[in-house]
Amino acid sequence: MKNSQHLNQIILCIISLFLIASCAEPKHKKGKNDKINLLEVKERILLDFENESDIKAIELQNARSKLIVNEGNHGLEINFDSLNNHDSSVYINPSNTWNFNDYESAALVLDIENSTKSSTHIYIYTYDKSGAFQLSNVAVPAESNNSYLIELKVPSFLLNTGIRNDPPSWPHNYISTIWRGGTKTLDTSAITSIRLLISGVLENKQLIIDNLRVVKPNNFDPEYLTGLVDEYGQNAKQDFAGKVYSADQLRSFSQQEQENLTDQQFPSRSTFNGWINGPKLKSTGYFRAEKYQGKWSLVDPEGYLFFSNGIANIRMANTSTITGYDFDAALIKQRDAGDYTPEDSIGLNTAPKQAWSSRHISSQLRADMFTWLPSYSEAAGANYGYRRSVHSGSLKKGETFSFYRANLARKYATQNEEALMQDWRDTTIKRMHNWGFTSFGNWVDASFYQMNRLPYFANGWIIGDFKTVNSGNDYWGAMPDPFDPVFTQRTNKAIKKIADEVKNNPWCVGVFIDNEKSWGSMGSPSLQYGIVINGLKKNANDSPLKQEFINHLKNKYQNIESLNTAWDLKHTSWAQLSRPVELTSYNAQMLGDFSELLYLYADAYFSRVDKALTKYMPNHLYMGPRFAHWAMTPEVLKAAAKYVDVMSYNYYREGIDQPYWDFLAELDKPSIIGEFHNGAIDSGLLNPGLIHAESQFDRGEKYKSYLNSVIENPYFVGAHWFQYIDSPLTGRAYDGENYNVGFVSVADIPYTPLVKAAQEVNKSLYIKRFGK
């Protein structure tokens, strides 16, 4: 408690220091967005295209620019060739670096006009002289002209709140961009460049930019995080459509929804949601994949063509948020070395009753965010949980609370776990049928597995005490050493456990194993071949991976002298190579060998997983590891395609853009989108998600565009939206994600525009995919 109070005092002191200084820079030129001066934020123009030097500061990538004049003011029109290029950018590179050291706090503001009829999602990078960057993003609404704020240094950056993108900490009339990543401690004495990036969209985009200026944030609110969350898990400081104010309101909505929900599937669907009006192919009693008339497709157990359109992450595991309370660690059961489930995939996992009396505040900052938390003795205390470890956040462990489950209990008027979950599952499946989805996506709670009402995908992780290797971009953790016998043991045990849950059920389409692992990424040798480069740094005596790499090189080069010549090394023996080797420069021959070694690594991983699935789950499709689009290389994709039945990719962009996906033709494998989404900030949440829409209506429009781009691609056999439920307002317990990406809110109320968009797509899904 004393430490928490001391932290609060420090925070208040920091904010007070930021409030002391003032400056008197001139405002931006008149006649454009004058409303932003209502709060008298001090501004200084950096670039406004009134001078030729401003034009020279512009660098374009896959884009064209044109100087325009409007009411005597100049602006720069940027036409992004985003239809033909995955990335299109405009860079603003000043001739002299910008120095904002005179500013106790600093932010940039840029006017952006979008005169087109569709919103534009942009990423904004701000770089300093060291190459460090801050990344934010924002949706620029259709037919709009606004001023956008990019914070560089503000007091809130000094706090780890455990939330991805905090609420505004000072009043202004700009549109805030959403913090996405990079460093929060840029060298503001030397800002060298600003990049506006449009990536992965389905049409050419056009924007007009003007009036880049630096502003000095002021009037910081020391209470900006206090009392943020109401008793329903909603934003207590905002009003918005769909906000809930009472349990009676929740029950009333539920009653109205239930009157309109049926268990009827869409017409023209088979038992398993295949296309009953389409051709009848070979039926095997289980799902399989087949290329039909030049298009890959899944085939349902009865032999009908099947396209998997579903929603992922339908479970309680990710509905909880860290409360800022903890217990005596000695009273918490710690993880067992033989556990199969990662911490974030476990349910609420409530702290044991004997620990409750030791409950104490571990973060006053977090605890003060909530206007209400029940006692453990209340019925609502059943919604508490515990996380013994987290991936990232303000705390490394601690108590959690699920406002979503609490709202379900209010809605269904019960705290009985069995009855509550049965009502929830029944409503969820009825929604899937009414909304037209053909299946669940990944990470559906295993309690759905034997209900036999909607096709699903099983999932599992290979975790355990096997050796690992770093890839250099290990966001979710180090990569496994598949040559370690312990990896094979854990693989078999994990997949047997999945098989025991599925019970050879024909409603199971297939199995996803692992997720978004850091295989490597394109851009440089160190990124692409990090697994190889870091593997060679190991001692072969303690690394099965290094041993296999050396064996491969021995077989190829026969003697150390030949390897030395090829790699420009001076090793005296293979034994010397067995010791840690650090390589910092790479010639063409080395890179060719690195490619072979990376393929060798990936082949070992996928072959072992495939062997275990063939042994324990021979009737179910191997759906792959759901590659993150930022973490895959040609070598790994080639190895995976050799073993998996369906390639899977998590792709957070606006759609399947070409030519980015041209590699699908080379692999010629059925493929599925494991995750995509978009979100908006008109829901009370603080972060739209990875892809931004301007509103709930725009979410639906973007959903339709993405799905249609998948349906029209001959290699894709499905797409899964992430996720069913909005993230908690204060961030999910595991890593602070606080996104408006659900089909339903924390109050379990569906977002009608998104639902209508899904229904529209799903009604014509099979006709659009296969024709009449």
pLDDT at 40: 53
Instruction: Give tens-digit pLDDT for 583-612.
Output: 999 999 999 999 999 999 999 999 999 999
Q: Region 478-501: what's the mean pLDDT? A: 97
Cβ 110 vs Cβ 176: under 8 Å: no
572: left (phi over 0), alpha (psi -120 to 50) or beta: alpha
Q: How far apart are CA 511 and CA 618, in angstroms?
A: 11
pLDDT of 19 > 80? The answer is no
Instruction: Give tens-digit pLDDT for 246-296.
Output: 999 999 999 999 999 988 889 899 999 999 999 999 999 999 999 999 999
pLDDT at 42: 80
pLDDT at 686: 97
- Dihedral angle computed from the Cα positions of residues 445, 449, 453 and 454, in that order, rounded to the nearest 10 degrees: 70
pLDDT at 196: 98
Cβ 556 vs Cβ 670: under 8 Å: no
Q: Is the pTM of this model over 0.85?
A: yes
**Cα-based angle 331, 333, 335 (whole degrees, multiple of 5):** 150
| CB-neighbour burial class of residue 385 (10 A; exposed 0-12, middle 13-18, buried 19+) | buried
pLDDT at 663: 96
3-state secondary structure of 541: helix
pLDDT of 627 > 50? The answer is yes
Q: What are 36's two structure tokens?
A: 């932003």
pLDDT of 7 > 80? The answer is no
pLDDT of 234 > 80? The answer is yes
Nearest to 165 by CA among 766, 729, 755: 729
pLDDT of 8 > 50? The answer is no
Q: How many helices (H) and strands (E) does the chain have?
A: 18, 31
Q: Region 175-201: what's the mean pLDDT? A: 96
pLDDT at 477: 86
Supply the DSSP symbol for 535.
H
Instruction: Please list the alpha-helical segments (H only) found in 587-644.
Output: 588-616, 634-643
Question: 723 preceded by cis ω (within 30°)?
Answer: yes
Instruction: Give tens-digit pLDDT for 358-409.
Output: 999 999 999 999 999 999 999 999 999 999 999 989 999 999 999 999 999 9
Instruction: Give tens-digit pLDDT for 335-368.
Output: 888 888 888 899 999 999 999 999 999 999 999 9
Mean pLDDT of the chain: 93
CA distances from 447 to 417, 451, 452, 485, 666 (A): 13, 8, 11, 32, 39
In degrees and rounded to multiples of 5, residue 720 shows phi and psi of -120, 120
pLDDT at 176: 96
* Site of tokens 């979410």: 699
| DSSP assignments along 414-437, one per residue | ---HHHHHHHHHHHHHHHHHHHT-
pLDDT of 2 > 70? The answer is no
Q: How far apart are CA 635 and CA 641, in angstroms?
A: 10
Q: How far apart are CA 559 and CA 553, in angstroms?
A: 9
Nearest to 517 by CA among 393, 651, 630, 390: 630
pLDDT at 22: 33
pLDDT of 325 > 80? The answer is yes
Q: How far apart are CA 641 and CA 289, in angstroms?
A: 14
Q: Region 43-48: what's the mean pLDDT? A: 94
Instruction: Give tens-digit pLDDT for 657-709.
Output: 989 999 999 999 999 999 999 999 999 999 999 999 999 999 999 999 999 99
- Enumerate domains of the chain plus CATH numbers: 2-216 (2.60.120.430), 226-319+402-442+626-772 (3.20.20.80), 325-352+356-401 (no CATH), 525-594 (no CATH)
Q: Region 518-543: what's the mean pLDDT? A: 96
Supply the DSSP symbol for 489.
H
Q: What is the largest CA-CA distance in the chain?
A: 80
- Per-residue pLDDT band at 617 (split at 50, 70, 90): very high
Q: How far apart are CA 403 and CA 727, in angstroms?
A: 10
pLDDT at 41: 64
pLDDT of 560 > 90? The answer is yes
Instruction: Give tens-digit pLDDT for 48-107.
Output: 999 888 999 999 999 999 999 988 889 999 999 999 999 999 999 999 999 999 999 999
Q: Are strands 627-628 and 87-92 parallel, antiparallel or unpaired?
A: unpaired
Q: Region 224-232: what's the mean pLDDT? A: 98
pLDDT at 163: 95
